[in-house]
Each structure stands twice: as C-alpha cells, then as structure tokens.
Amino acid sequence: MTIHTTLRAALLGLATLGSGTIASADQLADVKAAGKIVTATDMHYAPFDMLNNGTYEGVTKDLFDEVSKELGVEPLYQDIPWTAELPGLEVGKFDIVIAPVTITPERLERYTFTLPIADATVSLVKAAGNDALTKPEDIKGKTVGVQQGTAQFKQLEAYGQTLGGVTIKEYGTTDEAYADLATGRLDAVAGSLPNLTYLVKSRPETFALFEPAQFGEPKYFAWVLRKEEGSETLAQAINDALLKMTDDGRVKAIQEKWLGSYTELPREVPTN
C-alpha cells in the first residue's frame, strides 16, 4: 500500500471524528462557546504522547491540560496517525494539532505555530554496546531509521548527502523503528533529542545515544493551527498561557517530570 493510499484511507476515517470545525472570524470565541477544544496527536511518540494501559499521558498531555485550564475549556484528545494530522487540520476535522511538530520555514508559510514546547534538534541513537558507531558522521554507508513525513527525516536526508550516502528506512511510528534497531535491522535511528533521551533513559540496556548525539541546526517543536485570520485569537491565547506557565514554573516542572531536565525555550515563534 502506498503512502498516498494510506493517507487517503486515514483521511476518510477522520470523517467520523473531530469537531467538523469551519473557518470563523474568531476561533477562540468558537472553542469557548463550545466549551471544548478538539485536538489531534499521535499517541505513540514517547515521551510526548503515550498510551499507558490505554491511558493517554506524556509531556503534551500535561502541557495541554494546563493550557486548556487557562482557556477555560475541556480538551478532547484524539489518536490520529501522524500522516493524517496536518491534512485533517486543513479540512477542519479538529481545532489544533498538538503532536509535537517541528517548526520549519516551509511549514510556517502554510500553518500557524504556537510558541515552542520543546527542543526538536535531530539526534541519533544506536544499539547499546555498538562501539563501531560513536559520532554522527559514522552513519555514512549505514542504514538509519526515521519516522516518515517528519522534519527529522528531511534533516537526516540532507546530512546523509553531505556524508556521501546513508540508507534511510522510513517508519510509520518511532516505536517500529526502535524495534528494528533493537533486533539489528538498523544501525541507528534519527529523532529529536528529547525523544531519544527518554528512550535511552527507559531502556539503557538496549539503546545508547551517539556522542555527540545532535547534528544539524537547532530546531523546536510547537503546536499547529490553520493559517487563517480566525486562528490568530486562539494562537495568541495559547501563547499567553504558555508564557504564564513558563513564568510560574509549570513548564519547568513538566519538562523535569518527563525529560529529566529543563530547557529554556524561545518566547517568540522562531522564523526558521
């Protein structure tokens, strides 16, 4: 089955989900009137989005719970495949995509981004005990897994070209890539540093970070709304909530709970 076929099928499935949102002059007023905000995320992206015995949890859940309180609405969380999230947002199936989305110049032209919620700089993880791979340039000629349709894929592809060639294998979820790395089908997996740090912390007997793990330019994760005049009010309210949570320590507490450390984030939306 091709990616396009999978995407069409996923979007058809979205017809029975979501809010049926249509564009309006004030999306914040709409969600307040409804008393809820309808979200989409992929609940297989630890530590941001996870299902633990059927219960949704993670960095994103904790952050957006607090943001929703500040907005005075109830969040409705939906588990949607990553490849269907941004297309589904565009056709009004939900109010916001809260899966961590890497801010890129191309996406900034098409979507409205909130303030960053986490570092998204691309990094590398390997099997524990693999001493043949240490620094990022060692992946030259190797097979590296990455989640399809992500900014990390594009950064890995560009980096591989500078090295003279890397075989890239795309996966629907990071969990699938990690499974193949654990069984030796991959030499490494590329992803954001917070995701890979959490993976190694959770399974140190199986995985290890490269040293250094990061390569490429610094990037950030954020949430995404439609790029339309009506979305500006909701985006501003979410940004105000995130700044308030930063200043009162809630963001720091959530980062330390899930990531083990705190990273200060930009107080404006990056332009690249």
Q: What is the mean pLDDT of the chain?
A: 90
Match domain 122-214 to its CATH number in 3.40.190.10, 3.40.50.970, 3.40.50.300, 3.10.105.10: 3.40.190.10
* Model confidence pLDDT, tens digit, residues 160-205: 999 999 999 999 989 999 999 999 999 999 999 999 999 999 999 9
For 7-35, what is each residue's pLDDT tens digit?
Answer: 444 444 444 444 444 455 799 999 999 99
- By the 8 A CB rule, do 45 and 174 touch? yes
CA angle in degrees (0–180, nearest 5) for 77-250-27: 45
Specify the CATH superfamily of domain 3-119+220-259: Periplasmic binding protein-like II (3.40.190.10)
- Alpha carbon distance 183, 172 (integer Å): 18
The CATH 3.40.190.10 portion of the chain extends over 3-119+220-259, 122-214
pLDDT in tens, 209-243: 999 999 988 899 999 999 998 999 999 999 999 99
